[in-house]
Structure 1
Amino acid sequence: MKRVMLIGSPGSGKSTMSRELAEILKLDLYHLDNLFWSPGWVMASREKQIEITKELIKQDKWIIDGNYNGTIDLRLERADFVVFFDLPRRVCMYRIFKRMIQYRGQRRPDLNAGTERFSWEFIKYVWDFRKSKQPGVYKHLRNYPTKTVVIIRTRREADEFLKQIRRDKHHYKVG
């Protein structure tokens, strides 16, 4: 595991797991939310997102956490390991509301845009993720049949996956 990408709905656990994997595997971690959003909630242009992604994936070792459909194939081409969080809507919704309360008026460690905020557009995005985004993610994954992909559907599966990585880290550790 040298180049790991984590994808899935907001609130699914990508950032939490990516931090733990980075620590276990001693890999540099990049949160796309942090890189693609500037203070004041200004989103980088698609061209800038592609430029940033191309620079990141040139590196030999990394963990990249984030969706961003416009750069998913660039990351998939270089990744040697993919973790896709396919958790139920209710879990993701609960977690984003919990996060909004936890970080109210504060900046999240994985987000450069500014203080946490409530947005109906974001709530709708998370609510509709499994219907509107998930099929596209599976389509992208099918285009890379030789990639190692782990699909996480429950918190228990996430915990078991991390337990396995910790137990067998000498097989995975590259840093």
Structure 2
Amino acid sequence: MDWNPRRITVAGVSGSGKTTLATRIAERLDLPRVEIDALFHGPGWQPRANFVAEVEAFLAGREWVIEWQYRLVREQIAARADTLVWLDLPTAVTLAQLTRRTILRRLRREELWNGNLEAPLHTVFTDPDHIIRWGIRTRNQLRELMPNIAAAHPHLRIVRLRSRRERDRWLRCTLVR
């Protein structure tokens, strides 16, 4: 194989499994990885002041895996990456995964990044930015962005995975060190 991905970003809507896939890729290829949400979210869900600088420092490395999100750094990530893995799963799948994950995190009072917890479940009805409502509102966003990303970054190999089966097959058969 003449393709040897070393700087990989994983794109997908909320609930698509970006973080899980990024972790699996990093483990499989023995690459450094950072969870971009941990860099972005400070205490009280406030954006961290040094977010962009920390992402840029990570991207300066020779090899890495990171999720492709946050407008502030998407362009830098795409420009530096050699591979973008796009989890383009059906909306029903991503919304089910997002809902399940959100409920479990809340019920377990699982600490996320920098002391943050998922919002109380009832706020899905009152908070327009609740993660589940965010997932519904932005569910088609990447389908609109990808043609522009591909055109702006011809060096970037985009791997579009449309199902869990495709994702698993790609991991098993394509990513070998």
* TM-score range relative to shorter protein: 0.7 to 0.9
Shift of 1:138: 3.4
Task: Within 5 Å, give how 1:13-32 maps onto structure 2.
Answer: 13-32=17-36
Mapped to 1, the partners of 2:8 and 2:152 lie a distance apart of: 17
Calculate the TM-score normalised by the size of structure 2: 0.83
Shift of 1:123: 2.0
Aligned residue among 21, 42, 49 for 2:46? 42
CA contact (8 A) 2:68 2:77 kept: no
Number of matched pairs? 164
- 1:52 corresponds in structure 2 to 54
Find out whether 1:131 has 2:133 as its counterpart.
no
3-state DSSP of counterpart to 2:111:
coil
Using a 3 Å threshold, how does the CA distance of structure 1 residues 112 and 77 change in structure 2: closer, same or farther? same
Aligned residue among 163, 167, 174 for 1:154? 163
Mapped to 2, the partners of 1:91 and 1:160 lie a distance apart of: 18
Calculate the TM-score normalised by the size of structure 1: 0.84
Using a 3 Å threshold, how does the CA distance of structure 1 residues 137 and 39 change in structure 2: closer, same or farther? farther
Mapped to 2, the partners of 1:144 and 1:49 lie a distance apart of: 23
Mapped to 1, the partners of 2:10 and 2:111 lie a distance apart of: 22
Mapped to 2, the partners of 1:151 and 1:113 lie a distance apart of: 34
RMSD across aligned positions (CA): 1.9
Identity, % of aligned positions? 26
Unaligned runs of 5+ residues in structure 1 are 171-175
- 2:153 corresponds in structure 1 to 144
Query: What letter is aligned with 1:12?
Result: S
CA contact (8 A) 2:14 2:139 kept: no
Mapped to 1, the partners of 2:58 and 2:155 lie a distance apart of: 22
CA contact (8 A) 2:31 2:63 kept: yes
Mapped to 2, the partners of 1:64 and 1:112 lie a distance apart of: 19
Task: Within 5 Å, give how 1:1-175 maps onto structure 2.
Answer: 1-45=5-49, 48-104=50-106, 105-108=109-112, 111-112=113-114, 114-117=116-119, 118=121, 120=124, 121=129, 122-165=131-174, 169-170=176-177
Query: What letter is aligned with 1:148?
Result: R
Shift of 1:155: 1.0
Greater fraction strand: 1
Q: Deviations over 1:41-100 (max 9, x none)?
A: 11235xx33222211111111101241122111011111111011122211110111111
Query: What letter is aligned with 2:69?
Result: N
Unaligned runs of 5+ residues in structure 2 are none
Query: Greater Rg, structure 1 or structure 2?
Result: 2
Mapped to 2, the partners of 1:134 and 1:52 lie a distance apart of: 28
CA contact (8 A) 1:3 1:63 kept: yes
Shift of 1:102: 2.1
CA contact (8 A) 2:9 2:85 kept: yes
